[in-house]
Structure 1
Amino acid sequence: MKNNRNIICKKIITNIFTLSVLTLAMQQVNAQRVVVNREVETTNDGKMLLGNQLKEQFMKEPYSEWYTKEFNEYALDQKAVGELRKNNITSYNLIVFVGTWCEDSHRDFPRLMKILEEVKYPDSRLTIIAVNRKKESPTGDEVKYNVSKVPTIIVEKYGKEIGRIIEMPTTGYVERDLVEILKKDDGSVLKEIFKKEN
């Protein structure tokens, strides 16, 4: 009888422990969910986007004032856009850091979005992170990616950085800079991955 009670007590304790571990795990998963389209009100800059954003967020007021104008007025370099298609930019990941308070972001972010629309770039490969004036995001991604200026456009393949555009394109055109970055991708990332497996 006493032995049965011990077995029952052990089962109850084991079940409580298992339930506690599961509850803690679920809480951590929930805590790691990224808030998307966060907007904050600031004293000096008014409304500001902060953290992970969807591109549609920039089509809303007050951001649409600068976003839509630049998007519509920008004349794409079609030769460079053709090169981006040829070099299969849609197979790369892009991480873009912007400041909705930043003039360089007001210029180059809408241009980038127009380029991506033109090449039918998949939204699933695009990460947009808005930062405050201190270049900080709620998730600290600016530290992970070593970002100190905006806009910063990072091109990745298989989780490895191929290149980046910082603040403004060196050629004067985002699409031309992207072409130059893709030309640098000699497949060394793939070679590195296969070397690790052997």
Structure 2
Amino acid sequence: MKKFITNIIAVSALFLASQQLNAQKVVVNREVETTNDGKMLLGHQLKEQFLKEPYADWYVKERDEYAIDQKAIAELKKAKINSYNLVVFMGTWCEDSHRDFPRLMKILEELKYPENKLTIIAVNRKKESPTGDEGLYNIQKVPTIIVEKYGKELGRIIEMPKTGYIERDLVDILKKDDSSVFKEIFKK
């Protein structure tokens, strides 16, 4: 009898664990139809999604026309940007996102940035996503590009790059990371 009860408990625990795993699955490339904005991407996205209509209209044009600052690209390579994680919040309804998101993607292509280190989250006009990630990152404006290392935020570009160039702002963020490491070493 004792073995029977133990087996029932074990099976129940496995069942509950599998239910929990299923509940944590994130839907990728969700697209919704809205009254005011028509088709809109919402939640976690893959970059290929932006090559589809109606997003390709603005995405491809802006990406192809953007002239990258090669000096900043060289600095980003030297600073090993590919070892950092990027989290990007954007809106397919937002003009600033229409401008800066394709530019960022062109920069990342130039850097051969690993796709598994990039998280793209599309939000609605209220800056909300289905998973609620915007709350974890305190997103107020889009686009917001967040640079992380070891799960810690190092800096972010909010709405528009301060220098006028995303790649230059990224260089500035990575320079802060280097200097903060030196400060920690010499502080002790």
> Which category describes the TM-score, using the shorter chain as reference length?
over 0.9
Displacement after TM superposition at 1:63 (Å): 0.4
Aligned position for 2:101:
109
**How do 1:28-107 residues align onto structure 2 when only pairs under 5 Å count?**
28-107=20-99
Question: Of the candidates 5, 19, 22, which is equivalent to residue 13 of structure 1?
Answer: 5
CA distance in 1, matches of 2:39, 2:182: 42
Question: Of the candidates 157, 178, 186, which is equivalent to residue 178 of structure 2?
Answer: 186
Q: TM-score, normalised by structure 1?
A: 0.90
Displacement after TM superposition at 1:66 (Å): 0.3
CA distance in 2, matches of 1:185, 1:174: 17
- AA at the equivalent of 1:19: V
CA distance in 1, matches of 2:181, 2:14: 38
Change beyond 3 A, Cα 1:50–1:36? same
Q: Is the 8 A contact 1:135 1:148 kept in 2?
A: yes
Secondary structure in 2 aligned to 1:184?
Answer: helix
Secondary structure in 1 aligned to 2:125?
Answer: coil
Aligned residues: 184
Q: Is the 8 A contact 1:160 1:189 kept in 2?
A: no
Q: TM-score, normalised by structure 2?
A: 0.94
Unpaired runs of 5+ in structure 2?
A: none
Secondary structure in 2 aligned to 1:40?
Answer: strand
Deviation track 1:68-88 (CA, whole Å, cap 9, x = no partner) reads: 000000011111111111111
- AA at the equivalent of 2:7: N
Aligned position for 1:149:
141
User: What's the C-alpha RMSD, in Å, of the aligned pairs?
Assistant: 1.5
Displacement after TM superposition at 1:159 (Å): 0.6
Q: Is the 8 A contact 1:71 1:111 kept in 2?
A: yes
- AA at the equivalent of 1:158: Y
- Max radius of gyration: which structure? 1
- AA at the equivalent of 1:83: E
